[in-house]
Amino acid sequence: MPLMNIFEPLFLLLALVTVITLITAAACAVAGKWARAGRILRRLGMGAAVYFAVAVVVSIVGQRREYHVGDPQCFDDWCITVVDAQRAATPHDSPLEVSLRLTNRAQRVPMGEKGTVVYLTDAQGRRYDPQADSIEVPLETKLQPGQSVIATRRFAVPRDAQGVGLIYTHEGGFPIEWLIISEGGWFQKPPIVHLN
C-alpha cells in the first residue's frame, strides 16, 4: 500500500480550507455581516455534503482490497504484514498460527496504532477472533523509528474451512476512514489477506 493515497492530502487540504472558512464566517458575524457569514456557511455545508456523497459512493462501488502473505498494510508509517500462517502437523484440530510483522517506517518518531484488531474469516463469512494469550506482543506496541517486531496470534479455525483470510482493522474510537476516501470506508468490507 502506498505511504499516502491521493485522497489523504486532499482531505488535509479540505480540512484546512474548512478551518479558514469557519474563521472567516466567524469574523463576518462579529463584524455584523450576518448575511455574508450565512452565505459562507451555506457554501461550506454544500461542499461538505458533496464530499461526503463522493466518499459514500466510492465506498459502495469500490472493490475490497485484497492482499497476500508478505504484502504490508500501512496506516501512515505504521505497517502490519502477515509473514506466515501455518498449523501444527497433528491429526486433530490445532490452532492456525499467524505471524505478523509490525513495522514503524517513520524516520524520527515512535509510532503505535491504537484500536488495532486482527481476526480471521472464511468463505462462509464466519469470524474467528484470536485466542487469548497474555505473553504475546500487543498490536498497539509503540515502535521506535525503523523498528520491527513479530507478533503471533493463534486462531481456532476448523481444518476444513475454505477461503481463510486475515482482516486488519480498527475497532473503537472515531472511524477516521469515514472521512477519507479510501479502503474500508462507509460500506466497504475491510481489506483481507488471503491465507489459503
Helix (H) or strand (E) holding 53: helix 34-61
pLDDT at 4 over 70: no
Confidence band of 172 (pLDDT split at 50, 70, 90): low
* pLDDT for the residue numbered 127: 93
Fold of 66-194: Immunoglobulin-like (2.60.40)
Closest CA to 189 of 68, 63, 82, 4: 63
pTM assigned to the model: 0.71
Percent of the chain with pLDDT over 90: 41
Domains of the chain by residue range: 7-61, 66-194
